[in-house]
Each structure stands twice: as structure tokens, then as C-alpha cells.
Amino acid sequence: MPGILRTLAVSALMALAALPGQALELVMVEQVGCSYCARWNEEIGPIYPKTPEGAQAPLRRVDLRGDQIDALRLKRRVNFTPTFILIDADGQEISRLEGYPGEDFFWGLIERMLQDNTAYRPPAATGG
């Protein structure tokens, strides 16, 4: 019996290893003078780390013209700021949201991005 359990455990680990890397962060590509970045910073920035989405994909800021952007393995060049890029453990782009559509749309788009590309499931709404 222990041989069967070991085989099952090894099989399970191999299956997990075959899954794509879990999203570790949401990278916000921004630049000085970006009015939409400033608006995001005012409306979302202070609360994002306190949300379930922020817990699943912590925010990291990267300047569009800085060196940090070169370390990311992006599918294509970033042309607009802000651009929000979901990055896996290997630094590989999983998904992106270009621009800031306003607070009302941002949360739904980020939630969908996380649901479609990670194991994230939003907390159940509490009725009242």
C-alpha cells in the first residue's frame, strides 16, 4: 500500500508542476505626467493592497522608461500608461489591462483577469 501512496503523491506533484506559474504580482507600468496614472493612484492606489485582488496579486510599480521593465518577459511592448500586467512567478506576462477605465470598471476587469488566469475566486458577497 505505501508504494501506491508514493506513486499517487509523485503523480500529483508532477501534475502541479505542469500547471502554469501562479500569478505573483500585478505590475503597474506608469510614467511621470500620466493623468490616468494619477487618477488611479487617487481612486484605487490606497485600497488595492487591502482587497482580495491585492492579496492575490500584490502591486509592483514599474516606470515605462526605467530599467525594471526590461526584466519582465512581456508578450509585447507597453505603449500606454497605465498598463496593468499580471506576472507569474517566472516574470512571464499572463494577461494585461491597458489604460485605466475608471473605478467602476477597473475592479470587474481585474477580477475577471485573475479568475481567467489564476485560481483566484472572489469572496462570496454577503447579503444584508
Q: 112 — phi, psi (to 5°)?
A: -65, -40
What per-residue confidence (pLDDT) applies to 23?
Answer: 55
The per-residue pLDDT for range 80-110, each reduced to its tens digit, is: 999 999 999 888 999 999 999 999 999 999 9
- Residue length of the chain: 128
* Domain extent for 54: 17-117
Can you give the CATH number for the domain in which 38 is found?
3.40.30.10
Q: Is residue 126 part of a domain?
A: no
| Greatest distance between any 2 Cα atoms in the chain | 65
Count of structural domains within the chain: 1
97 lies in some domain: yes
Q: In this structure, what C-alpha cell is assigned to residue 101?
A: 477605465
Residue 60: inside a domain: yes
**53-77 pLDDT, tens digit each:** 999 999 999 999 999 999 899 999 9
pTM of the model: 0.79
Residue 127 lies in a domain: no
CA separation, residue 42 to residues 11, 46, 48, 69, 96 (Å): 48, 7, 11, 23, 21
Residue 124 located in a structural domain: no
Whole-number Å distance between alpha carbons of 65 and 7 = 50
pLDDT per residue as tens digits for the range 1-26: 455 544 434 344 333 333 444 558 99
Q: Is residue 63 part of a domain?
A: yes
